[in-house]
Chain A
Amino acid sequence: MEKSQILDEVQAIFREVLDNEEIVLQSATTADDIEEWDSLTHIQLIVAIEKHFKIRFTSREILSWQNVGQLIDSIAAK
């Protein structure tokens, strides 16, 4: 799957989980850029992404991402 398509789908998940239709994701986006994205909603996002793509992240991966681009890379690598 193209990374741009993954980004679109991840963006849709962010909008739904965080209940904010205005969220726009880019590779460089970090938790600091999105108000609703905190350590708690982070885990909700992870679980939703895992379900959507039918994949499992390792705990190490979840803790390692610095920005959305790295998250997309992890999904693409599965």
Chain B
Amino acid sequence: MLDFKQIKRLIKQDNSNLPEMKVALLGDTATQFLATAIKGVGVERGYNINLFEAEYNQVERQVLDPTSDLHAFGAKYTVVFQSTHKLLEQYSLNELTNERVNELMSGRLNFIRALCETIDGKIIYFNYPEIDDTVFGQYANRTELSFTWQIRQLNCELMRLTQEYPNLYICDIAALQNQFGREWMFDSSVYVSTEMVLSLDALPYVGSRVMDIICAIEGKFKKCLILDLDNTVWGGVVGDDGWENIQVGHGLGIGKAYTEFQEWVKKLKNRGIIIAVCSKNDEDKAKEPFEKNPEMVLRLDDIAVFVANWENKADNIRTIQQILNIGFDSMVFLDDNPFERNMVRENVPGVCVPELPEDPGDYLEYLYSLNLFETASYSAGDKDRTKQYQTEAKRVQAAQKFTNEADFLKSLDMVSVVDGFTPFNTPRVAQLSQRSNQFNLRTVRYTDGEIAALGASDKHVCLSFTLEDKFGDNGLICVIIMEKRDAKTLFVDTWFMSCRVLKRGMENFTLNTMVEYAKAQSFERIVGEYIPTLKNGMVKEHYPNFGFKAIGENLYELDVKAYQPRECYIERK
């Protein structure tokens, strides 16, 4: 983590080459340093943050007055930091009655509701790190009147509000205080001389947590964890010590540090993070602990890609990247060996390589502090991802047996379910819109709420596609949103597809389905646009390749009547 001084330097350099991002910051304490932290971490993450900082303590006025500077600014993200400190002050001035205490808290919640309803764009709201005023002693846990009771309840209510308002995201600075302690979070001399409630040590972390949320919504987040084995996943060297003598397992000693590390990795896998292994070992030796050692939490079927050989790790990570077909910047590599870490850092730019502490007992707390795996959405299907990548590896092997691609595709017995947006598939559609970077024609990111609204709109045609074959079900992998521009024209607002299903003829099937709809509804043309990003070069020629005629820069049109259905081996279910 950069320190505050380094962050300040990042802002001083010329960042005009970075994409601009409009962010507003409102606080009830002085926010200048927080503004610096957000801008600086923003640069570190590749954004030139255009920050609107409201005057000190103008939160309510800026939000509730529709003619305020805040509304005129039109931020994509509005960051709101109402401090525990100021809330405690109001609480302290109140009479100590149920009525007054509840009034204060429901007043705050009502304001947050108003915030969610009046602000366009997304809101990042800081939750409340606890201050224990000890007025009731520990009896505070037994009376609703206590500040402790109220603040814990408020944090719970904030989580509940996110279910009500899809544009509300909570920046969990209470969790930061739990991790590092109140003394670290709050510096009384900083507060006394500046009215700021965050210490200089805390600021880079708080800025980082804010940018974690923004980056996740913008589609920049980690999808894959690559693990070294010896002294990272277990203690000792399996090649020397043997699978039965490595250090892992509960009981006294360092083994439990590795066990708990593995438990963490397993939870990540269950959440949908792809786990890969990259180890300098003989493959059979490296696999033995997973197969034979009963203390191992991780098993071979938790690992999507297993690479153990004596090649260098940079090359092996490139191999893993090719199999998974995801960006290097979405990968995290953990290795206890500083030499290997530097080697990967220097040779595979983009991969995140945390500086693991020397003591394995410190691994987990250190990793917690980094918050590596932020996400803007979660769906139950995520946990099957490892299986999907494993079946993909099987498909690759099967494909090698066929000399003719069509024969291979026929042999897969592919079927696709075509549907609109339903309450059931909305989270997955939104999630895929945030994750898809390569096969994505316009890279418009949608949240759950926006997808639900599009699904209900009669001006839009929304299609979702699944793909299943004899090896397994890929789940929902492709989404089309077409806007009815006029009685004759459909405009393709969104076309993205998971790269897992490239080269299966899914594009043909999708376009056939789109044209079928257009014909049935008497539309005459489909207009498509390609918006280039750093990552979607693979679909640059997508529309011309599929018979669309250029009608402008990156703008193409398809004549519906003249269209001949394209060959594909996918059946509609």
A residues with a Cβ closer than 8 A to B are 16-17, 19, 39-40, 42-44, 46-48, 56-59, 62-63
Contacts and interface: CB of A to CB of B under 8 A. Distances in A.
Contact of B5 (A16, A58, A63): A16
B5 A44 contact: yes
Contacts of B5: 16-17, 44, 48
Contacts of B9: 19
A16 B193 CA distance: 21
A59 B188 contact: yes
Nearest to A50: B189
Given A16-B5, A44-B200, A47-B187, A63 B194 contact: no
A64 B425 CA distance: 63
Contacts of A48: 5
Contacts, number: 39
Contacts of B190: 43, 47
Interface of B: 4-5, 8-9, 12, 32-33, 187-190, 192-194, 196, 199-200
B12 to A, nearest CB: 7
A44 B33 CA distance: 10
Contacts of B33: 40
A40 B194 contact: yes
Could you say which of A16, A42, A43, A47 has the most chain B C-beta atoms within 10 Å of its C-beta? A43
Nearest to B12: A19
Nearest to A57: B189
Which 10 pairs from chain A and chain B are nearest by CB?
Answer: A59-B192, A47-B200, A59-B189, A43-B194, A43-B190, A62-B189, A62-B193, A43-B193, A40-B32, A57-B189
Contacts of A47: 187, 190, 199-200
Given A16-B5, A17-B5, A39 B194 contact: yes
B4 A46 contact: no
A56 B199 CA distance: 14
Given A44-B4, A46-B193, 19 more contacts: A17-B5, A40-B32, A40-B33, A42-B193, A43-B194, A43-B196, A43-B200, A44-B200, A46-B189, A47-B190, A47-B200, A48-B5, A57-B189, A58-B189, A59-B189, A59-B192, A59-B193, A62-B189, A62-B192
A48 B6 CA distance: 13
**Majority secondary structure of chain B interface residues (helix, strand, loop or mixed):** helix
Contacts of A19: 8-9, 12
A63 B4 contact: no
Nearest to A48: B5
A15 B5 CA distance: 12
Nearest to B191: A59
Contacts of B32: 40
Contacts of B199: 47
A42 B189 CA distance: 11
Could you say which of A39, A44, A57, A58 has the most chain B C-beta atoms within 10 Å of its C-beta? A44
Nearest to B187: A47
A63 B193 contact: yes
B7 to A, nearest CB: 11
B12 A39 contact: no
A55 to B, nearest CB: 12
A43 B415 CA distance: 64
Nearest to A44: B200
B56 to A, nearest CB: 13
B194 to A, nearest CB: 5
B14 to A, nearest CB: 16
A65 to B, nearest CB: 11
17 contacts: A19-B8, A19-B12, A39-B193, A40-B33, A42-B193, A43-B189, A43-B193, A47-B190, A47-B199, A47-B200, A48-B5, A57-B189, A58-B189, A59-B188, A59-B192, A59-B193, A62-B193
A55 B115 CA distance: 43
Contacts of A62: 189, 192-193
Contacts of B196: 43
A46 B102 CA distance: 40
